[in-house]
């Protein structure tokens, strides 16, 4: 069975500081990996996705993520956070021939001035 | 990407009643899904809505409680039946677009349901 672990329930960073959100997955074949953001009262927005190729993926809003097969990880990074980045972030996994998208438990990001 | 219109955006319902949530997509899509997000929790897949056949439910979800219709490739409904306060959640519709190694999932804005 596929699963996603986001070890950090809540992270607080200062505005302008760098950010890394952790994601570990379990999947029996080649995974397809996604990061979504959910702002308060909003739907889910896709930040980036990885299917194959370059393991460093660039997304919207200045986010990037790196796929590390040896560590079963797909961590999300941003060099300098803005107050508007405060939201809930979800990592998710599916795979070839598998229609289901499985989500992690999410990481709530708080930005302090 | 597809644009999803989900209605209603929120509702407050009495226990024991039912609510039907609609999901309209602006393009034809093969794969449609319904998720539940309980307060402060992640998203859990309820079922895959199959066009022209019965939905495929995940473990812990049953058709009698969450009947789903999918009459065509652009529309689906989810009914939450005989509601209890434990059904208070956000319900989201999702579609998968693209094929092979380039697909993505788009989500509706959700229906925030409160059962009193």
Query: In this predicted model, what pLDDT tens digit does every residue of B31-74 receive, in sequence order?
Result: 899 999 998 889 999 999 988 888 999 999 999 999 999 999 99
> B45 touching A, CB under 8 A?
yes
DSSP SS3 for A5:
strand
pLDDT at B108 over 90: yes
* Nearest by CB: B108 against A43, A92, A100: A43
Do A90 and B42 make contact, defined as CB atoms within 8 angstroms?
Answer: yes
Q: What is the pLDDT of residues A48-96, one digit of tens each?
A: 999 888 899 999 999 999 999 999 999 999 999 999 999 999 999 998 7
Encoding tokens for residue A6? 């986001």
d(CA A105, CA B105): 18
DSSP SS3 for B88:
coil
d(CA B60, CA B66): 11
| Nearest of B38, B73, B34, B77 to residue B57 by alpha carbon | B34
B109–chain A nearest CA distance, Å: 4
DSSP SS3 for B41:
coil
Do B109 and A42 make contact, defined as CB atoms within 8 angstroms?
Answer: yes
Mean pLDDT of chain A, nearest integer:
93
A17–chain B nearest CA distance, Å: 26
Do A90 and B43 make contact, defined as CB atoms within 8 angstroms?
Answer: yes
d(CA B41, CA B19): 21
pLDDT at B99: 67
Instruction: Calculate the CA dihedral of residues A112, B90, A1, A93 and round it to 10 degrees.
Output: -50
């Amino acid at each position: 069975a596929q699963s996603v672990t986001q070890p950090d329930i809540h992270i607080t960073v200062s505005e302008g500081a760098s950010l890394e959100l952790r994601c570990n997955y379990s999947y029996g074949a080649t995974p397809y990996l996604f990061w979504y953001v959910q702002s308060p009262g909003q739907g889910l927005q896709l930040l980036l996705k990885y299917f194959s190729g370059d393991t460093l993926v660039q997304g919207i809003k200045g986010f990037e993520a790196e796929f590390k097969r040896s560590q079963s990880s797909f961590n999300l990074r941003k060099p300098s956070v803005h107050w508007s980045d405060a939201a809930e972030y979800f990592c998710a996994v599916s795979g070839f021939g598998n229609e289901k998208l499985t989500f992690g438990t999410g990481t709530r990001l708080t930005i302090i001035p | 990407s597809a644009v999803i219109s989900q209605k209603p955006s929120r509702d407050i319902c009495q226990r024991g009643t039912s609510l039907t949530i609609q999901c309209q997509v602006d393009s034809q899509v093969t794969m449609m899904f319904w998720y539940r997000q309980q307060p402060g929790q992640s998203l859990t897949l309820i079922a895959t809505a199959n066009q022209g056949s019965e939905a495929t439910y995940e473990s812990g979800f049953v058709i009698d409680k969450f009947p789903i219709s999918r009459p065509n490739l652009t529309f689906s409904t989810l009914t939450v039946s005989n509601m209890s306060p434990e059904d208070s959640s956000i319900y989201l519709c999702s579609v998968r677009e693209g094929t092979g190694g380039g697909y993505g999932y788009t989500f509706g804005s959700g229906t925030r349901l409160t059962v009193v």
